[in-house]
């Protein structure tokens, strides 16, 4: 993709300094299951109203972190506060302020959608008079009002996920946790789920914390933390992360690709290679480089395309050792984060 | 719709798209916990109502015991039973089989916790801002209610065992069924708190349920047994419900005096501890205390966080 996602532009605060107390703040958090250290000392803060994403492969510690924040697991060491309350000491206060959508369904499929929501409302002690109108509102939001009296077992996977989102919002939480909100759904349903989430951000004053291993989903976040092997290796806006790689990807079709590759090496000192049938290379500020390319490259160019680094590139650069070694700038960023993590740990 | 709300924070603005209905989750209090108990209990009933197959299948086993085993063994036991038009082996085992009709439903209802855990719904409950006690209490009461209901269906068959539909008898039987069902559900919930796989839960409870039933004296009199079996029957909590149930049934039969005498001396002499007759209140008290203790263990178990 060559264009930037609109959702991520705009003012994204750096490390939870959006004025006032952060809604989520975590410091020195670790979690050990026997021999396995699932979370190995992480620190981050999420500002009010932010959409914050945890990006990482399966088993990186994303779900464990969410479980600790949601009071479902105790940290081995370190602290986590959510909505101003300690996630270990003040569980009920945290629970009152959060909504959850888990990776696997947590609906009672033998009940109707309305019965599931009513169960939730009673469990959360939602004022009786507010239950019906609020149910209508959240079901309308996810387009399931018409199906409210159907058994959940008759719902498709996408509908179930939408219902879970509606239920997570029923008690008007300040923070919504979404653990892999679109995993296992087809691309069309995934994009519709994101449409609901983006719509939600417009409507309600809510902070969203989500985990994902889909790069394109991370693009929806104001800021993302890349987590690998239980550690955060980078935190920033998707833009800044991509910029931290410092290079755009340029692809050109030429009359003689072999000669072009040689010429690029000789004239610009650029290492290019054939990729997807085109001469491909990485260069800082690609748009400014293109005019020079036309002026100075002797071989005729038939077409050119410049694309920003994708989060895939970012992810590779922060977690893949070969790329990390090759990229000087990213490596420095990595080392800074590592240092911060080490000092934040006990 | 409901635009005249008592809570000023609630704005049910139908037309506006942007306004969120303000909902606030209250601090935990008794009222909130009671709502939680009630909804967990109601969910149990809704699910039971939606599952007629389960209601029918759980009646099959007691039905088999009463009519097939009961009728067959009447033939064999005929000689040792008093001759009367209003009494046979079916009458003798009816109270025990009635207890059995609640047994499976109660355990199975508790087992749905394991099911809920496997299918995720338990998480929805565990992250709610309510006390774990409210959840466990709601679950125990829910299981007790539907198991009692199952017993009541079986009560309707009393006539086939020559047991009269006497209101006092019916009510006292329902009361004892409720107590038994509560304790059994509490037992099941306690087990379900620790066991993570449904198969394992079913296997374990099956393994425990049949001995509980066989040792309760549901199918034979408790007197004149070998010492080892006497001890085992006195350990089985089910004994302390089956005994009083049988006593209640037998005291409402209209039988000739000599038959009553045989019954009281040989067939239903009541529960004794080394010759000391255990009074009714103690019998039922034991069951109630066990139920409450197991529920307390279950609550403690659910209060743990990984």
Q: Are A169 and A176 in contact (CB under 8 A)?
A: yes
What residue in B sits closest to A111 (Cα-Cα)?
B47
ipTM value for the complex: 0.84
Share of chain B above pLDDT 90, in %: 59
Average pLDDT (B81-93) is 81
Interface-testing mutation among B43, B44, B112, with chain A (most A C-beta atoms within 10 A): B43
pTM: 0.80
Q: Please give the radius of gyration of chain A, using alpha carbons only, rounded to the nearest integer.
A: 23
Between positions 71 and 100 of A, the ones with CB within 8 A of B are 71-74, 91-93, 95-98, 100
Query: What are the distances in angstroms from CA B83 to CA B1, B80, B259?
Result: 69, 9, 8
Average pLDDT, chain A: 82
Rounded to an integer, what is the distance from CA B120 to the centroid of its chain? 26
In angstroms, rounded to a whole number, what is the distance separating the alpha carbons of residues A199 and A7?
11
Average pLDDT (A281-295) is 84
Q: Please give the radius of gyration of chain B, using alpha carbons only, rounded to the nearest integer.
A: 23
Rounded to an integer, what is the distance from CA A281 to the centroid of its chain? 28
For A116-120, A333-337, B86-90, which range has the lowest pLDDT when averaged over its residues? A333-337
Q: So what's the pLDDT on residue B79?
A: 67
In chain B, what residues touch A73 (CB-CB under 8 Å)? 305-306
Share of chain A above pLDDT 90, in %: 45
pLDDT tier, A215 (very low <50, low <70, confident <90, very high otherwise): confident
Q: So what's the pLDDT on residue A343?
A: 46
Average pLDDT (A270-287) is 80
Residue A71: DSSP 8-state: T
Q: How far off is chain B from A137, nearest CA to CA, in Å?
A: 8
Query: What are the distances in angstroms from CA A17 to CA A49, A50, A345, B164?
Result: 12, 11, 21, 77
Cβ contact, residue pair B10, A127, below 8 Å: yes
pLDDT tier, B78 (very low <50, low <70, confident <90, very high otherwise): low
Average pLDDT (B154-171) is 94
Q: Is the pLDDT of residue A302 over 80?
A: yes
Q: So what's the pLDDT on residue B9?
A: 38
Cβ contact, residue pair A71, B127, below 8 Å: yes
Cβ contact, residue pair A133, B123, below 8 Å: no
Q: Is the pLDDT of residue A9 over 50?
A: no
Residue A48: DSSP 8-state: T
Q: Is the pLDDT of residue A209 over 90?
A: yes
Average pLDDT (A58-80) is 91
What residue in B sits closest to A200 (Cα-Cα)?
B18
pLDDT, tens digit, for every residue of A178-206? 998 888 888 888 888 888 888 888 888 89
Kindly state the tokens that stand for B58. Answer: 């759980």
Tell whether B12 is within 8 A of chain A (Cβ).
yes
In chain A, what residues touch B133 (CB-CB under 8 Å)? none
Among candidate residues B191, B34, B113, the one with its CA nearest the CA of residue A108: B113
pLDDT, tens digit, for every residue of B236-263? 999 999 999 999 999 898 888 888 888 8
Q: Is the pLDDT of residue B15 over 50?
A: no
DSSP state string for B18-85 = SPPPP--PPPP-HHHHHHHHHHHHHHHHHHHHT-HHHHHHHHHHHHIIIIIIHHHHHHHHGGGSPPBT
Tell whether A288 is within 8 A of chain B (Cβ).
no
Query: How far apart, in Å, do the first and last CA atoms of chain B sit?
Result: 44
Contacts of A125 (CB under 8 A, 6+ apart): B25, B26, B31, B32, B35, B36, B129, B130
Helical packing angle, B239-250 and B89-118, nearest 10° = 140
Tell whether B23 is within 8 A of chain A (Cβ).
yes
Among candidate residues B132, B140, B145, B122, the one with its CA nearest the CA of residue B185: B140
Q: So what's the pLDDT on residue A336?
A: 44
The b-or-e profile of A286-315 (16+ CB within 10 A means b, else e) is beebbeebeeebebeeeebebebbbbebbb
Between positions 126 and 145 of B, the ones with CB within 8 A of A are 126-130
In angstroms, rounded to a whole number, what is the distance separating the alpha carbons of residues B108 and B58?
10
Q: Are B102 and B257 in contact (CB under 8 A)?
A: no
**Choice between B180 and B19, residue whose per-residue pLDDT is larger:** B180
In angstroms, rounded to a whole number, what is the distance separating the alpha carbons of residues B266 and A75?
63
pLDDT, tens digit, for every residue of A10-30? 333 344 444 568 999 999 999
Q: What's the CA angle centered on A317, arms A315 and A319, to 5 degrees?
A: 65
Q: How many CB atoms lie within 10 A of CB A171?
A: 26
For A222-231, B36-45, B139-148, which range has the lowest pLDDT when averaged over its residues? A222-231
Query: Strand order in A36-46's β-sheet?
Result: A36-46, A24-33, A77-82, A85-86
Contacts of A174 (CB under 8 A, 6+ apart): A23, A83, A97, A98, A205, A206, A207
DSSP state string for B116-184 = HHHTSHHHHHHTSSS-HHHHHHHHHHHHHHHHHHHHHHHHTTGGGGT----HHHHHHHHHHHHHHHHHH
C-alpha dihedral sign at B258, B259, B265, B266: positive
Q: So what's the pLDDT on residue B20?
A: 53
Tell whether B7 is within 8 A of chain A (Cβ).
yes
The burial class, CB within 10 Å (0-12 / 13-18 / 19+), for B72 is exposed
pLDDT, tens digit, for every residue of B129-144? 999 999 999 999 999 9
Between positions 152 and 211 of A, the ones with CB within 8 A of B are 167, 170-172, 202-205
Q: So what's the pLDDT on residue A236?
A: 93
pLDDT, tens digit, for every residue of B275-297? 898 999 999 999 999 999 999 99
Average pLDDT, chain B: 87
Q: So what's the pLDDT on residue A320?
A: 56
Q: Is the pLDDT of residue B90 over 50?
A: yes
Contacts of B201 (CB under 8 A, 6+ apart): B111, B114, B191, B192, B195
- Catalogue the E-assigned strands of chain A: 24-33, 36-46, 51-55, 77-82, 85-86, 98-101, 175-179, 207-212, 223-228, 231-236, 248-254, 273-275, 278-283, 301-307
In chain A, what residues touch B127 (CB-CB under 8 Å)? 70-72, 95, 98, 100
Tell whether A34 is within 8 A of chain B (Cβ).
no
Contacts of B25 (CB under 8 A, 6+ apart): A96, A97, A124, A125, A126, A171, A172, B129
- Give me the total of CB pairs closer than 8 Å, taking one residue from chain A and one from chain B: 130
**Choice between A231 and A308, residue whose per-residue pLDDT is larger:** A231
What residue in A sits closest to B305 (Cα-Cα)?
A73
C-alpha dihedral sign at B83, B89, B93, B94: negative
Q: Are A53 and A212 in contact (CB under 8 A)?
A: yes
Residue A145: DSSP 8-state: G
Q: Is the pLDDT of residue A331 over 60?
A: no
Greatest mean pLDDT among A215-229, B131-145, B214-228, B253-267 lies in: B131-145
Nearest CB among A74, A91, A102 relative to B123 is that of A102
Q: So what's the pLDDT on residue A217?
A: 84
């Amino acid at each position: 993709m060559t264009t930037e996602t609109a959702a991520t532009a705009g003012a994204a605060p750096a490390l939870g300094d959006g004025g006032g107390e952060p809604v989520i703040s975590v410091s020195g958090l670790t979690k050990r299951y026997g021999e396995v250290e699932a979370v190995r000392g992480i620190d981050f803060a999420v500002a009010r109203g932010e959409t914050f994403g945890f990006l990482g492969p399966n088993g990186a510690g994303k779900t464990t972190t969410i479980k600790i924040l949601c009071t479902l697991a105790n940290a081995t060491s370190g602290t986590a506060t959510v909505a101003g309350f300690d996630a270990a000491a003040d569980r009920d206060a945290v629970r009152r302020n959060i909504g959850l959508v888990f990776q696997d369904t947590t609906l009672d499929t033998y009940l109707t959608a309305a019965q599931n929501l009513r169960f939730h409302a009673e469990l959360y002690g939602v004022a009786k008079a507010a239950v019906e109108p609020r149910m209508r509102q959240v079901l309308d939001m996810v387009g399931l009002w018409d199906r409210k009296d159907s058994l959940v077992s008759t719902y498709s996977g996408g509908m179930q996920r939408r219902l879970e989102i509606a239920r997570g919002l029923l008690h008007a939480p300040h923070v919504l946790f979404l653990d892999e909100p679109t995993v296992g759904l087809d691309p069309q349903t995934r994009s519709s789920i994101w449409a609901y989430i983006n719509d939600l951000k417009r409507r309600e004053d809510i902070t969203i914390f989500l985990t994902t291993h889909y790069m394109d989903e991370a693009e929806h976040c104001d800021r993302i933390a890349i987590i690998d092997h239980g550690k955060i290796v980078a935190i920033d806006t998707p833009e800044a992360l991509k910029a931290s790689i410092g290079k755009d990807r340029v692809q050109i079709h030429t009359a003689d690709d072999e000669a072009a590759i040689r010429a690029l090496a000789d004239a610009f000192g650029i290492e290019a290679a054939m990729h997807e049938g085109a001469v491909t290379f990485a260069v800082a500020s690609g748009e400014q480089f293109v005019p020079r390319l036309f002026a100075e490259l002797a071989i005729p160019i038939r077409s050119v395309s410049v694309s920003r680094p994708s989060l895939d590139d970012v992810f590779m650069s922060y977690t893949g050792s070969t790329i990390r070694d090759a990229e000087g700038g990213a490596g420095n960023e990595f080392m800074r984060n590592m240092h911060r993590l080490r000092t934040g740990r006990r | 719709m409901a635009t005249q709300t008592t809570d000023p924070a609630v704005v049910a603005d139908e037309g506006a798209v942007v306004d969120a209905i303000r909902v606030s989750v209250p601090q935990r209090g008794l009222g909130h916990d009671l709502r939680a108990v009630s909804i967990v209990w109601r969910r149990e009933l809704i699910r039971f109502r939606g599952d007629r197959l389960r209601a029918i299948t759980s009646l099959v086993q007691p039905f088999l015991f009463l009519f097939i085993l009961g009728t067959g063994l009447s033939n064999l036991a005929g000689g040792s039973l008093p001759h009367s038009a209003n009494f046979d082996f079916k009458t003798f085992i009816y109270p025990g089989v009635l207890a059995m009709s609640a047994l499976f439903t109660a355990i199975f209802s508790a087992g749905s916790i394991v099911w809920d855990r496997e299918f995720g719904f338990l998480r929805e409950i565990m992250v709610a801002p309510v006390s774990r006690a409210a959840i466990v209490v709601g679950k125990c009461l829910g299981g007790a209610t539907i198991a009692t209901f199952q017993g009541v269906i079986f009560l309707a068959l009393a006539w086939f065992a020559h047991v009269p539909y006497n209101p006092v008898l019916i009510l006292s039987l329902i009361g004892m069924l409720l107590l038994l069902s509560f304790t059994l559900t509490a037992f099941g919930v306690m087990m379900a708190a620790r066991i993570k796989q449904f198969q394992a839960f079913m296997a374990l409870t099956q393994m425990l349920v049949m001995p509980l039933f066989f040792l309760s004296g549901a199918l034979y009199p408790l007197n004149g047994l070998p010492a080892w079996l006497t001890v085992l029957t006195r350990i089985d909590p089910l004994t302390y419900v089956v005994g009083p149930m049988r006593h209640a049934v037998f005291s409402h039969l209209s039988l000739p005096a000599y038959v009553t005498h045989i019954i009281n001396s040989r067939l239903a002499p009541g529960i004794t501890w080394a010759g000391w007759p255990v009074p009714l209140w103690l019998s039922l008290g034991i069951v109630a205390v066990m139920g409450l203790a197991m529920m307390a263990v279950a609550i403690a178990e659910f209060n743990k966080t990984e």
